[in-house]
Structure 1
Amino acid sequence: MMIASDVALSPGAYIEIRRGQQTVIGRVVWQRERFSGVRTQDVIDVEALLREPRLQQPAQRRNPDMNPSPVAMPANDRIAIEINAARRIERSQAISSRLQFSALCLFGLVAAIAIAMQVAQMLGNPMQQLDSALSLDKPQTTALVD
């Protein structure tokens, strides 16, 4: 499961995630910026987790002079930002996968053309010699050696 957290989670750390009455226990396996990958000990029932209502959080104080930090943002705004960030990451990974595949295909095509040219050159010289030796246009002289 991928989660976003305001606190940096280090790989190897065990975490407990609660939503309403649902509890998910897992271990952080990777971390990049605010996002972390968690391997859970049990299978997650996503539908039940999404249906579970959130518990009310105490209202956070806001200072109008300061820019709102991600922690001070309303939960819906923070979720929207995190969803957009996750989508951008997925798009970037998809684009990089396509570019990597294209580069690999191009490399394979260039290698195949180079090999074909080498084979054609290697087989071309003996074939020219055979063609000239078997040509009927020229009178052939044969030398007999005693």
Structure 2
Amino acid sequence: MLKALQIGYKPREARHPVLIPARMHIGASWIEVVIHNLSSGGALVASDEAPDRGTYVEIRRGRQTIIGRVVWRKDRFFGIQAQGRLDVAAIIDEPRLASRPRSANDPGSTFERRAQPRMDADARIARQLENSRRWSAVFQFGVFIALALIAAGFAASQIYDVLSPSFSEIESHL
């Protein structure tokens, strides 16, 4: 009987029951959450501040990140459909950090999260811009010289065509 009811339905993906503390970024704030089960397509999560259905969230566990949309919500529990396939084993095996990661906003912090600091990137972009300006100035000067030579050649040709009969006449009289 159950098999007859399931015709046409895709079998449900295996869920891995877990209790994993994590942090969720929603809006402009981070809140603590607990992941209760995982599959490669999503997760069941609990939080004191459960987001509304349709909200996009980012959940982090160490270096692992789950980005998805809330597809259902009931009380403090909600289900997330992940944007991509989740590596369940990597999320489960990810060690919990001993302390909260440092942030660039921490007072007195010189911590830089980027692989390449912004100042270096800005300097590289400024050098590229200056090289582009220099190249465009050289190219513009070359085009101007080429056009000037073409115009001078055309003018010389026209002057020769106009004066050539006159000089031929003068030469024949001498």
| TM-score bucket of the superposed structures, by smaller chain | 0.3 to 0.5
Q: Which has the higher helix share?
A: 1
Q: Which has the higher strand share?
A: 2
Give TM-score scaled by structure 2 length.
0.34
Give TM-score scaled by structure 1 length.
0.39
Comparing both chains, which one has the higher relative contact order based on Cα–Cα distances under 8 Å and sequence gaps of 6 or more? Answer: 1
Higher CA-based Rg: 2
